[in-house]
Amino acid sequence: MQQVMTAAPERRAVRVQGIVQGVGFRPFVYALAHRCGLSGCVRNDAEGVRIEVEGAPGDLECFLRALVGEAPPLARVEAVTWEPLPLAGDSGFHIDASRSAPARRTLVSPDVATCGACLRELFDTRDRRYRYPFINCTDCGPRFTIVRGVPYDRPLTTMAGFAMCERCRVEYEDPANRRFHAQPNACPDCGPQVRLVDPAGRELQAGADPLRQAAALLRAGAVLAVKGLGGYHLACDPCNPRAVAALRARKARQDKPFALMARDIDDAGELCEVRPEEAELLQRPARPIVLLERRPGCRVDPAVAPRQRTLGVMLAYTPLHHLLLGEAGLPLVMTSGNRSDEPIAYRDEDAFEQLAGIADAFLVHNRPIHVRCDDSVLALGARGAAFPIRRSRGYAPAPLRLAEPVSRPLLACGAELKAAFCLAREQHAFVSHHIGDLQNYETLRSYVEAVESYSRLFDIQPQAIACDLHPEYFATRHAHEAAAVAGLPLVEVQHHEAHVASCLADNERPTGERVIGVAFDGTGLGTDGAVWGGEVFTGSVREGFLRRAHLEYVPLPGCDAAVRRPSRMVVSYLAALYGLEDMLRLPLAPLRDLGEREVRCLARMAEQGVNSPPTSSAGRLFDAVAVLLGLPGAHRPTYEGQAAVELELAADPEARGEAYPVPLRAGEGSWIFELRELIRAIVEDLRRGESPGRIAARFHVSLAAALDDCCRRLRDWEGLGAVALSGGCFQNRLLLALLTERLDASGFQVYTHGRVPANDGGLALGQAVLADQRLRRGG
Ligand code: ZN
Ligand code: ZN
Ligand code: FE
């Protein structure tokens, strides 16, 4: 028998890629190497983590398996590769200081909510960080919002200015410590400090505890600006109607709901019904705002979310929040710190300038915010699956995996509203945080800066640029300029095709999969020059999409003016249906409100096509129906999509009722959903005194039925079994639920959004994958 010999030792260089920096990966490797009895070293570099290990082959194998299987909770290991090295004969295992290398392939982690261990210390009177608002460790704390460059190390974060004290340094250097290489590590002796100041920057009652004072002000009804992770919030007591009214008036925000922050899941449960899936969403490390059903008898002032059944609630996610909410003994309104329409303030000087007229006092600190990043918003959709409405803090800049690598690095510029861009390289799509509506200088600057910062951070030099067809979008103009300057190919992608592709990429579907794509949306430029928005396509990301059906065209009187004043759309639909004189005799409140002169003028504009392009927008149809029903926020909406939101809210959940007729007629090259019978039926129901709640419910049922019918016909015709749902209208949970239910019953595979929003915030992802395929086809 052969004698078992100890196999000769080997040395290997191991490369780990993914989200492996700033998540406690090196201490994990250190502990693991010790456990496996290996010598060597580990360090961060610009491509991720590089490890050298030496020992018996069996131990090395063991080490490699555990490297993936036991990785720390916040890490995302995407690839582990290794190559042999000559033996070094070193003893022990150590951690090298980071070094920057030319290639930057590392991923930056999103910000992470305070972990359980840090929370216990925060409230432990014997702990040296008792009540310290910046406590953190390798499992939690700020990341993306403080990172200035890679590799992720203290000198390249906004913590660079704080020198660690002796005790913090010892923790930072001790591989057995929870704070080993935690870059934002700090304590009351050496780290950032909070201050409470008046709008002029003068300290309020120096010497007193700023957090206790801030809490006392909030309880007394004050509005506070609170510096957070990705920007400033405005905070007040949500149960104090005077405080809420003051905040609304000063912020010039009439109806758009304010988000709330609760200390923990129990406090959230006192405000809202929290289902188990929602509790899971609330407690994710990203701590998104989750839309929850308001609890009957909940004391929150109705003006926090006028006429809504839901409240947007998030849980405290920084130690400062935990302390402030704990001291206040209240949930708080925590809405983005901006004047209406401006992006959230994140630089201290800007915050004081922008918010001086809004906040009574400022709770600030001296750790700079490097990246502006709003709170993310999620809701629970059909079949218990969550979908994002805004993907930002806690999610960005983690990349999304693509089903297929892109053929070259590319930049997709997104749309005008809810702007977010996408940089794609190989199998990764980096969809940016929510940047906002590209309609003021501050947001435009922030967009351009973010594109630069992402390409630097992730080392992506685009070889092609994708954008929308709409020539007036800032993002489109930016794309044209950037392509011209760098001499890169530019690919223009139709808006609603991009929505459908975005949904497929969101679901990691193979690019060759042929589907029916439904894009129900606000507006986007079509290939025929009309304003599209109620579209059904067939095709695949690889081959592109063909328009198979759309909502009937009606004039969009005054273009954007019709978006701001939905009553214009009512005239448009009714004029087409009844003719001007008969329409004027209809006893309809919205027509009376407009007045005969304006109705005539709009009807003439529409008829003669003056500044009234044809539109098939589903969003505008929702607007018109909301106005017809006389819903309070529909006539003069104060935020984008308000009329449609109120139509969904108005729908009586008990009264689904029968569908109104929406016949599908053959048009030139595609089918057309006729709307005249639908509008006529609604007007007749109104004249008969039917309740708006019932009509709104039937309207939703009608659209679901019409779309299901259209999808079944397309299946019969082209043999397609899957349907992708995208576009802003699918944030409407009633429409989403009704349609999903029907399509399920018809035997379709249904794809809905889960990783990026169905609205324009997810558009860039679709632009990227479609542009890549078009470039491949082109050569
Ligand atoms: Zn922690
Ligand atoms: Zn310290
Ligand atoms: Fe859109």
Confidence check: pLDDT of 1 > 60: no
- CA–centroid distance, 171 to ligand 2, in Å, is 9
- CA–centroid distance, 184 to ligand 2, in Å, is 11
Would you state the pLDDT for residue 127? 98
- CA–centroid distance, 624 to ligand 3, in Å, is 18
- CA–centroid distance, 479 to ligand 2, in Å, is 46
Closest ligand to the CA of 493: 3
- CA–centroid distance, 163 to ligand 2, in Å, is 8
Q: Among 266-270, 285-289, 564-568, 628-632, whose mean pLDDT is lowest?
A: 564-568
- CA–centroid distance, 387 to ligand 1, in Å, is 27
Q: Among 34-48, 156-170, 398-412, 615-629, whose mean pLDDT is lowest?
A: 34-48
Count of residues in the chain: 779
Segment 568-574 shows an average pLDDT of 89
Q: Which residues surround ligand 2, an ion (CB under 5 A)?
A: 165, 168, 187, 189-190
Closest ligand to the CA of 521: 3
Burial (Cβ within 10 Å: 0-12, 13-18, ≥19) of residue 119 = middle
Q: Among 67-71, 251-255, 341-345, 668-672, whose mean pLDDT is lowest?
A: 341-345
Segment 651-670 shows an average pLDDT of 89
Would you state the pLDDT for residue 586? 85
Return the higher-pLDDT residue of 576 and 581. 581
Q: How far apart are CA 680 and CA 367, in angstroms?
A: 60
Closest ligand to the CA of 129: 2
Would you state the pLDDT for residue 4? 52
- CA–centroid distance, 166 to ligand 3, in Å, is 54
State how far the alpha carbon of 468 is from the alpha carbons of 400, 494, 727, in Å: 21, 6, 14
- CA–centroid distance, 110 to ligand 1, in Å, is 15
Structure tokens at 152: 């992720």
- CA–centroid distance, 67 to ligand 1, in Å, is 22
Confidence check: pLDDT of 265 > 70: yes
Residue 393's Cβ-side half-sphere holds a number of Cα atoms within 13 Å equal to 28
Closest ligand to the CA of 497: 3
Residue (of 356, 320, 364) closest to 338 by Cα position: 356
What stretches of 409-448 adopt beta strand conformation (E)?
Answer: 410-412, 422-425, 428-431
Closest ligand to the CA of 767: 3
Segment 223-238 shows an average pLDDT of 97
Confidence check: pLDDT of 105 > 90: no
Closest ligand to the CA of 72: 1
Closest ligand to the CA of 187: 2
In tens, the pLDDT along 447-488 reads 999 999 999 999 899 999 999 999 999 999 999 999 999 999
- CA–centroid distance, 19 to ligand 1, in Å, is 18
Closest ligand to the CA of 163: 2
Pairing of strands 422-425, 410-412: antiparallel
- CA–centroid distance, 122 to ligand 2, in Å, is 15
In tens, the pLDDT along 745-766 reads 999 999 999 999 999 999 999 9
Pairing of strands 428-431, 400-401: antiparallel
Q: What percent of the chain has pLDDT over 90?
A: 76
Confidence of residue 175 (pLDDT cuts 50, 70, 90): confident
Confidence check: pLDDT of 638 > 80: yes
- CA–centroid distance, 617 to ligand 3, in Å, is 10
Would you state the pLDDT for residue 96? 81
Q: How far apart are CA 112 and CA 394, in angstroms?
A: 6
Q: What percent of the chain has pLDDT over 70?
A: 98
Structure tokens at 366: 């001296």
Determine phi and psi for 137, rounding to 5 degrees.
-155, -170
Output the 3-class SS for 119-131: HHHHCCCCCCCCC
- CA–centroid distance, 322 to ligand 1, in Å, is 13
In tens, the pLDDT along 111-124 reads 999 999 999 999 99
Confidence of residue 19 (pLDDT cuts 50, 70, 90): confident
Return the higher-pLDDT residue of 338 and 541. 541
- CA–centroid distance, 266 to ligand 3, in Å, is 37
- End-to-end Cα, the chain, rounded Å: 63
- CA–centroid distance, 420 to ligand 1, in Å, is 30
Closest ligand to the CA of 318: 1
Residue (of 90, 113, 257, 117) closest to 178 by Cα position: 117
Would you state the pLDDT for residue 103? 43
Confidence check: pLDDT of 395 > 70: yes
- CA–centroid distance, 214 to ligand 3, in Å, is 41
- CA–centroid distance, 366 to ligand 1, in Å, is 20
Asked whether the beta carbons of 393 and 373 are under 8 A apart, the reply is yes
Segment 543-563 shows an average pLDDT of 92
- CA–centroid distance, 264 to ligand 2, in Å, is 28
Closest ligand to the CA of 640: 3
Would you state the pLDDT for residue 102? 40
Residue 8's Cβ-side half-sphere holds a number of Cα atoms within 13 Å equal to 4
